[in-house]
């Protein structure tokens, strides 16, 4: 029996092979197209990413998302407890979803299981990266105290998401921004650089004026700095149906990968894809960030 098992949720976008390799237990989040309900376990689920984005292009109304019922939480916590003496649950930011609060409430009722619930103060692949790094530590035999300390002192505070949205349309349709913000964003070709704030809410690292080519040019400049300064082995290139630019970034990063970082491309899953739409691209890693890297200036 291991010392610690890790549980996370369906927004995390962790590649399935890594979920299986490190025995990460995933509580699903649901995506609903009108009357059809699909379970999403991060990188996989009842609907493929290809089918999801195809539906997203043609649907009259955006799909909705919802958290799992209590039984899913209990099943995941109990399964994890069978593998380890302690369980750490790492969940989507409380600022973005009720999943964390529900996980904490249910964990408190399972008095015979040692469960600690952590707010990752992020969602999507940044949440996935945090959970993955914790699961790697658990796989290496680290104690609950060692993992929790690293989560709070290093992994969560230094988790960086640098993402640029191609369109504000889905955020507008889902009620995340107003008509005026949408109008100025589209008319002036302003593309926001999205990040997570320290409290787990969605914030901005600035904006890029220009077309898609300008966005990719900025990311190509950023890419080598990320490889150089990332403090953990795993780096994700995250996109939503924007495969070719993602491959270009991977090539550039591998050219500068003298430290043997594990760099992977991940297509955004249905939960987050609902809100960001297509042609979003970004890089997610743990380490420092300098805004000059996106402004094409040497740090």
pLDDT range class, residue 184, cuts 50, 70, 90: very low
Confidence of residue 176 (pLDDT cuts 50, 70, 90): very low
Q: Would you place residue 183 in the very low, low, confident or very high pLDDT band (cuts 50, 70, 90)?
A: very low
Is residue 173 over pLDDT 70? no
Amino acid 1: pLDDT: 86
| Average pLDDT of the segment spanning 7-32 | 95
Percent of the residues in the chain that have a pLDDT greater than 70, as a whole number: 92
User: What's the pLDDT band for 59 if we cut at 50, 70, 90?
Assistant: confident
Confidence of residue 165 (pLDDT cuts 50, 70, 90): confident
Please name each of the domains of the chain with its CATH number: 2-155 (3.40.50.10170), 159-293 (3.30.1180.10)
In the chain, % helix, strand, coil (3-state, to 5) comes to 40, 25, 30
What mean pLDDT comes out for the span 243-264? 97
Tell me, rounded to whole angstroms, the distance of Cα 29 from its chain centroid: 13
- From edge to edge, which strands make up the β-sheet containing 159-164? 202-209, 190-196, 159-164, 280-286, 234-240, 262-267
pLDDT in tens, 144-158: 999 999 999 999 999
- Mean pLDDT over the full length of the chain: 90
pLDDT level of residue 171 (50, 70, 90 thresholds): low
- Distance (Å) of CA 124 to CA 34, 45, 121, 178, 266: 23, 15, 11, 23, 11
100 pLDDT tier (thresholds 50, 70, 90): very high
Distances (CA, A) of 212 to 57, 172, 209: 19, 20, 10
| Phi, psi (rounded to 5 degrees) for 233 | -75, -30
| Virtual torsion, Cα 89, 93, 96, 97, nearest 10 deg | 20
User: Cβ contacts of residue 211 below 8 Å, gap of 6+?
Assistant: 189
- Please give the average per-residue pLDDT across 216-239, as a whole number: 97
Q: What is the mean pLDDT of residues 272-284?
A: 88
Mean pLDDT of 113-130: 97
Report how far residue 87's alpha carbon sits from residue 109's, in angstroms, rounded to the nearest whole number: 14
| 36 beta partners | 33
Using the predicted structure, report yes or no on whether residue 217 has a pLDDT greater than 70.
yes
* Per-residue pLDDT band at 188 (split at 50, 70, 90): low
User: pTM of this prediction?
Assistant: 0.92
pLDDT beyond 50 at 259: yes
> What whole-number percentage of the chain has pLDDT above 90?
74
Q: What is the pLDDT averaged over residues 267-290?
A: 91
Q: How confident is the model at residue 299 (pLDDT cuts 50, 70, 90)?
A: low
Residue 113 tokens, joined: 């299981």
């Amino acid at each position: 029996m291991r010392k610690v098992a890790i549980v996370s949720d369906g927004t995390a976008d962790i590649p399935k092979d890594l979920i299986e390799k490190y025995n990460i237990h995933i509580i699903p989040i649901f995506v609903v197209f009108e009357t059809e309900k699909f379970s999403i376990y991060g990188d996989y689920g009842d609907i493929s990413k290809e089918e999801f984005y195809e539906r997203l292009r043609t649907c009259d109304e955006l799909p909705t998302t919802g958290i799992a019922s209590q039984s899913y939480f209990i099943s995941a916590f109990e399964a994890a407890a069978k593998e380890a003496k302690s369980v750490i649950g790492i969940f989507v930011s409380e600022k973005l979803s009720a999943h964390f609060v529900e996980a904490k409430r249910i964990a408190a009722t399972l008095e015979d299981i040692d469960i600690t619930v952590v707010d990752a103060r992020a969602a999507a692949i940044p949440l996935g990266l945090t959970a993955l790094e914790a699961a790697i530590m658990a796989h290496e035999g680290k104690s609950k105290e060692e993992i929790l300390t690293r989560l709070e002192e290093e992994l969560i505070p230094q988790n960086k998401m640098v993402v640029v949205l191609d369109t504000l349309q889905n955020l507008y349709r889902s009620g995340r921004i107003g008509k005026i913000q949408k109008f100025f964003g589209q008319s002036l070709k302003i593309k926001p650089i999205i990040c997570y704030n320290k409290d787990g809410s969605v914030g901005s690292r600035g904006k890029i004026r220009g077309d898609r080519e300008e966005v990719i040019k900025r990311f190509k400049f950023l890419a080598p700095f990320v490889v150089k300064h990332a403090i953990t082995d795993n780096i994700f290139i995250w996109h939503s149906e924007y495969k070719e630019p993602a491959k270009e970034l991977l090539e550039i990063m591998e050219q500068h990968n003298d430290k043997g970082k594990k760099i992977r491309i991940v297509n955004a899953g249905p939960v987050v894809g609902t809100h960001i739409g297509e042609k979003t691209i970004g890089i997610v890693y743990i380490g420092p960030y300098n805004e000059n890297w996106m402004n094409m200036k040497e740090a």
